[in-house]
Amino acid sequence: MSSSDKHLQANLTSLSERITAAARRAGRPTESVTLVAVSKTFPAEAVLALARCGQRHFGENYLQEALAKIEAVRAAAPGLPLVWHFVGPIQSNKTRPIAEHFDWVQSVERLKIAQRLSEQRPAHLPPLNVLLQVNISGEASKSGVAPGELPALARAVAALPRLRLRGLMAVPEPTDDPQRQRAPLAAMKALFDEQRAAGFADWDTLSMGMSADLEAAIGQGATMVRVGTALFGERVR
Ligand SMILES: *Cc1c(COP(=O)(O)O)cnc(C)c1O
């Protein structure tokens, strides 16, 4: 094993310990939290190194980079059952490769995008797992549907035949202060529970929590955390 592989393995071990500790504090089993390793800007070799340690879920933001990486990983390790999540902004003319090459899309915020993903999902693949991204901090520049518009979007997306709507995703405004991290995360959990009670009882995924706030997110009910920096190191771009 190379020294950078050892480094990744050590990061994965300490991250798993953080997740386990946070889940225990919340009175939940560790298995109730899925770790998505966000490998954007890092090479296929880093994905393969983590995959050799047992990591299965990987997240990507930039489509061209992601497609090349998925291809390289498949070529190097055919048959490795990795699960790819698209978590970045989606342009409507780029939906086809997303529908063809990913297992999950976490960043759906408009019906038009969802319709295209549903139409373009290949027939030989299972329905595409989808989360609706919510703009929970209300920042003008941030992606995501406004909480008030979520119920209508959820009903429309749930009706699309080739998508499987699984829940919600958010990227709250970053802060290192655990007190200030909590409010938007709690608001997401409330929205998630409201929608489940309003007819989406089958929703099983609340994706929130990144390197800096995963403890707070798990404390507020996250079932999926998306972690880049704490695994791969600082991104240079
Ligand atoms: C980059 C990114 C992450 C990972 O963020 P870190 O702070 O590096 O852990 C998670 N989710 C999304 C949507 C991202 O773009």
What tokens appear for 94 in the block? 């780029």
pTM score, whole prediction: 0.97
Q: How far is the centre of ligand 1, averaged over its atoms, from the C-alpha of 210 (Å)?
A: 6
Token pair in block for residue 165: 């709507």
The rounded Å distance from CA 208 to ligand 1 centre is: 10
pLDDT at 237: 66
Give the Å distance between the CA of 200 and the centre of ligand 1.
Answer: 27
The structure tokens listed for 186 are 């709690």
Which backbone phi and psi does 227 adopt, to 5 degrees?
A: -120, 125
- CA 9 to mean position of chain CA atoms: 21
Burial-class residue 167 by CB neighbours within 10 Å (0-12, 13-18, 19+). Answer: buried
33 backbone dihedrals φ, ψ, rounded to 5°: -120, 120
Phi, psi of 121 (to 5 degrees): -70, 120
- Hey, what amino acid is at 68? A
CA distances from 169 to 42, 65, 73, 81, 224 (A): 23, 22, 26, 23, 9
| Dist. CA 135 → ligand 1 center (Å) | 15
Helix residue ranges per DSSP H, 77-208: 95-101, 111-120, 150-158, 178-197
Using the mean position of ligand 1's atoms as its centre, give its distance from the Cα of residue 124 in Å. 30
Cβ distance 231 to 8 under 8 Å? yes
Hey, whose CA ends up nearest to atom 5 of ligand 1? Answer: 228
Identify the pLDDT of residue 2: 82
Ligand 1 atom, smallest distance to 231 CA: 9
Using most ligand atoms within 8 A of CB, pick from 132, 171, 210 the residue to mutate for ligand 1: 210
Choose which residue among 19, 226, 227, 235 to substitute to test ligand 1 binding: the one with the highest number of ligand atoms within 8 A of its C-beta.
226
Q: What's the pLDDT score for residue 110?
A: 97
Q: What separation in Å is there between the alpha carbon of 40 and the centre of ligand 1?
A: 9
Closest CA to 223 of 33, 5, 51, 29: 33
pLDDT given for residue 153 in this prediction: 98
Distance of CA 208 to the CA centre of its chain: 8
Structure tokens at 7: 């480094």
191 token code pair: 């929205």
Contact 86, 62 (CB under 8 A): no
Tell me the Ramachandran region of residue 209: left when phi exceeds 0, alpha when psi lies from -120 to 50, beta otherwise. Answer: left
Cβ contact 163:199 at 8 Å = no
Q: Catalogue all structural domains in the chain, each as residue range(s) with its CATH number.
A: 3-232 (3.20.20.10)
- Residue-by-residue pLDDT tens, the chain, 237 positions: 788 899 999 999 999 999 999 999 999 999 999 999 999 999 999 999 999 999 999 999 999 999 999 999 999 999 999 999 999 999 999 999 999 999 999 999 999 999 999 999 999 999 999 999 999 988 766 799 999 999 999 999 999 999 999 999 999 988 888 888 999 999 999 999 999 999 999 999 999 999 999 999 999 999 999 999 999 999 876
Residues with beta carbon inside 6 Å of ligand 1? Answer: 38, 40, 61, 87, 171, 210-212, 226-230
